[in-house]
Structure formats: C-alpha cells, structure tokens
Amino acid sequence: MTNTYRELVVGGVLIAPIVSYAAIALAAFLMLRPLLRLIGFAKVFSNPSLAELCLYVAMFGTLALFF
C-alpha cells in the first residue's frame, strides 16, 4: 500500500504536506500560549523559551507522524 500525500495548492504552487503541518502546529501552539502563561508553565522550567520550542517540535512531530 502506498501513502498518497495531499499537497496544498496555493496559486498554482504545490506546497509540501510538511509545510502545512508546520503551519498547523504553529497556529495551535500560538493558541495554546495564553493557557500556558495562565497555568505558570514558565515557572516550572529554567529555560522557558527552550521548553516552548520543545513543545512546538513535539506538536509538529505528532502531526507529521499521524497525518
């Protein structure tokens, strides 16, 4: 069984699925950031920026793996 990828077409330009997964993960992460600030996510880590980057990478990897 071969996996068929559905490319996104914007103005006649084919965009790879990985780019759309990155955009979806970024949008989801930006919506999640206010909640993270509310619950005190930054206080748990010594480097909160790196922790947020790791969370984004985990979300992106999950999207790429399952879709």
Burial bucket for residue 51 (CB in 10 Å: 0-12, 13-18, 19+) = middle
pLDDT digits over 21-40, tens only? Answer: 999 999 999 999 999 999 99
- Average pLDDT (42-67) is 95
Beta-strand (E) ranges in 1-67? 8-10, 13-15
- Average pLDDT (55-63) is 97
Q: Where residue 46 falls among pLDDT bands split at 50, 70, 90?
A: very high
Percent of the chain with pLDDT over 70: 96
pLDDT recorded at residue 4: 73
* Average pLDDT taken over every residue of the chain: 92
